[in-house]
């Protein structure tokens, strides 16, 4: 017998789980989340866990600013029986080049216009925040005290449990293999565990969102790109904020458990689905991290891993209905910052799907922004 749902959400990462919760909270019944592996098995469970409001585009900054407020009260709001471990130790974004510093000034102007309390600080002030920072050649830094990081597994678990309490069903280890379409309207999905009839389908497949859109013949302007990260042995607390150097392509935070989590981007990374870990990454991250934070040179690496960014052409998300497939929505293109904006991207998407007033103009995340005109490129991506 064919199963029936009101909404099928494909993808059990932070985006899919948060969307399921927001829909159920607004009274939508019969929601099913389909995840091909386990919840958080995609980029969400592999991410650097950073939550920052220091963005260059208004769109990313608004989503991040409003999501921070949600993270602050998430344990209570979702009645979570554990702790999402949201620690607001701030984000220190250091600048070693004049060009970057000029861009930071522009970014901070955007942030201030939105009430984000970022400060532009001197190398000496940066050193007071992170005493082991290399200030040789440092021009300045920006610091936002309410940025921080949270545990992605716990955040997803919190959304999952809250959504399940509201009646959402989760089918893990189940792949969506096709989308059923009739006269340009979605009528359901085909899965490895049978078909599900549904008139609304949300494609929250991150790096694989393009593959789902291919099933209805739509070419999504996204590409997957490997990013690698590592975790070290735990040591005594010595670094409160996440430190980012865009020039060194580095981000680095100390978790509440004492270990450091860090990663570097590789500008030459091919656009493909490879998630093998590499020796070259270890060398690269060791060089960049010890250049910016020399004290870390004696830390021992416990584990490295990689995951895929779902890159959009302007590094802003895509939240839109798929042309030629009425009822199919895409929430992807998070370009390396989908974890921190997920609480509010889920709200925005769900408001649009339900025909409610959106808390910010969702058109800024439309697909047709790519078909002409000038894109508002995000400059602050690691």
Write out the residues near ligand FAD by the rule CB under 6 A. Answer: 10-16, 34-37, 41-44, 46-50, 175-176, 204-208, 227, 229, 263, 307-309, 332, 334, 336-340
Least distance to ligand FAD from the beta carbon of 242, Å? 8
Least distance to ligand FAD from the beta carbon of 93, Å? 13
* Shorter beta-carbon distance to ligand FAD: residue 11 or 56: 11
Least distance to ligand FAD from the beta carbon of 137, Å? 25
- Rounded-to-integer distance, Cα 343 and Cα 338, Å: 9
Q: What is the CA angle 141-147-148, rounded to 5?
A: 110
* Shorter beta-carbon distance to ligand FAD: residue 123 or 348: 348
Tokens describing residue 330: 């895409």
Least distance to ligand FAD from the beta carbon of 122, Å? 26
- Who's near 371: CB < 8 A, 6+ residues apart? none
Least distance to ligand FAD from the beta carbon of 344, Å? 12
Least distance to ligand FAD from the beta carbon of 10, Å? 5
Least distance to ligand FAD from the beta carbon of 230, Å? 10
CA distance readout (Å), 265 to 43, 206, 225, 366:
15, 18, 10, 27
Give Cα 298 distance to the centre of its chain: 30
Q: Which candidate, 118, 74, 68, 64, places its Cα nearest to that of 93?
A: 118
* Shorter beta-carbon distance to ligand FAD: residue 36 or 248: 36
* Shorter beta-carbon distance to ligand FAD: residue 42 or 140: 42
- Token look-up 């978790």 returns 255
Pairing of strands 176-182, 169-171: unpaired
Neighbours of 143 (CB within 10 A): 21
* Shorter beta-carbon distance to ligand FAD: residue 80 or 305: 305
* Shorter beta-carbon distance to ligand FAD: residue 129 or 244: 244
Tokens describing residue 267: 């500008």
- Rounded-to-integer distance, Cα 99 and Cα 76, Å: 43
* Shorter beta-carbon distance to ligand FAD: residue 138 or 208: 208
- Rounded-to-integer distance, Cα 60 and Cα 68, Å: 12
Residue pair 319/331 in contact (Cβ under 8 Å)? The answer is yes
Least distance to ligand FAD from the beta carbon of 78, Å? 16
Pairing of strands 301-311, 318-321: unpaired
Burial class (CB in 10 A: 0-12, 13-18, 19+), 250: buried
- Rounded-to-integer distance, Cα 210 and Cα 315, Å: 15
Least distance to ligand FAD from the beta carbon of 365, Å? 13
* Shorter beta-carbon distance to ligand FAD: residue 49 or 158: 49
CA distance readout (Å), 215 to 196, 219, 222, 237:
15, 10, 15, 48
- Rounded-to-integer distance, Cα 356 and Cα 240, Å: 40
* Shorter beta-carbon distance to ligand FAD: residue 123 or 244: 244
Length of the chain (residues)? 382
């Amino acid at each position: 017998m064919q199963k029936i749902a009101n909404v099928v959400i494909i993808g059990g990462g932070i985006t899919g789980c948060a969307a399921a919760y927001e829909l159920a909270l607004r009274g939508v019944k019969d929601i099913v989340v389909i995840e091909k592996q386990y919840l958080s098995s995609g980029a969400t469970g592999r991410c650097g866990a950073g939550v920052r409001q220091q963005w260059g585009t208004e769109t990313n900054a608004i989503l991040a600013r409003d999501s921070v407020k949600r993270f602050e009260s998430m344990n209570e709001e979702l009645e979570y029986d554990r702790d999402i471990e949201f620690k607001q130790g701030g984000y220190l974004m250091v600048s070693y080049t004049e060009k970057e510093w000029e861009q930071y000034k522009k970014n901070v102007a955007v942030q201030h216009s939105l009430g984000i309390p970022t400060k532009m600080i001197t190398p000496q002030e940066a050193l007071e925040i992170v005493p082991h920072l290399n200030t040789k050649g440092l021009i300045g830094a920006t610091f936002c005290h309410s940025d921080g990081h949270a545990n992605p597994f716990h955040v997803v678990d919190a959304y999952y449990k809250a959504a399940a309490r509201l009646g959402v069903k989760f089918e893990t280890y189940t792949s969506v293999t096709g989308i059923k379409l009739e006269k340009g309207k979605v009528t359901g999905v085909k899965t490895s565990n049978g078909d599900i009839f549904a008139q609304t389908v949300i494609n929250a497949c991150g790096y694989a969102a393009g593959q789902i859109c291919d099933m209805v013949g739509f070419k999504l302007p996204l590409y997957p790109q490997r990013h690698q990260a590592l975790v070290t042995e735990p040591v005594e607390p010595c670094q409160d904020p996440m430190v980012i150097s865009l020039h060194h392509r580095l981000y680095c935070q100390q978790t509440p458990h004492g270990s450091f989590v860090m990663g570097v981007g590789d500008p030459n990374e091919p656009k493909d689905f490879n998630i093998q870990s590499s020796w070259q990454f270890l060398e690269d991250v060791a060089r960049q991290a010890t250049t910016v934070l020399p004290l870390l040179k004696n830390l021992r690496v416990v584990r490295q891993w990689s995951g895929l960014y779902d890159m959009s052409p302007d590094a802003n998300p895509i939240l839109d209905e798929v042309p030629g497939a009425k009822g199919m929505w895409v929430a992807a293109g998070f370009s390396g910052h989908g974890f921190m904006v997920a609480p509010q991207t889920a709200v925005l998407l769900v408001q649009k799907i339900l025909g409610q007033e959106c808390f910010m103009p969702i058109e800024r995340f439309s697909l047709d922004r790519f078909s002409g005109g000038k894109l508002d490129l995000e400059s602050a991506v690691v």
